[in-house]
Amino acid sequence: MGKDKKVALITDGRFSGGSRGAAIGHVSPEAATRGPIAALRDGDIIKIDIPNYKLEVELSDKEMTERLAQLAEFEPKVKTGYLRYYAEKVGPASTGAVFK
């Protein structure tokens, strides 16, 4: 498709199949905790600064705040079993994704 030279994959989760082009995974804080990644929309421009370990979206603070305020409260999709327990008891990737 040729997009691997112009588009990066950025996610707060795991991913597979991202074997071409730029890819940044396990972004933290996660969308589930209303991290900035939750406010992103298709077409937003994100500056990737690898030497300084930074991602910056081209949005004003006001726009970011407004978008985050419009989000519904996060509701885990899994309601039963081990994945529900994991979602409730394990912290974010930034702290090692270990039990709280």
Give the catalytic positions in this structure. 16
| CA–CA gap between residue 92 and residue 29 (Å, rounded) | 7
Q: Which of 33, 67, 39 is nearest to 55 (CA)?
A: 39
Give, rounded to a whole angstrom, the gap between the first and last alpha carbons of the chain.
42
- Which of helix, strand or coil describes residue 47? strand
| CA–CA gap between residue 17 and residue 36 (Å, rounded) | 24
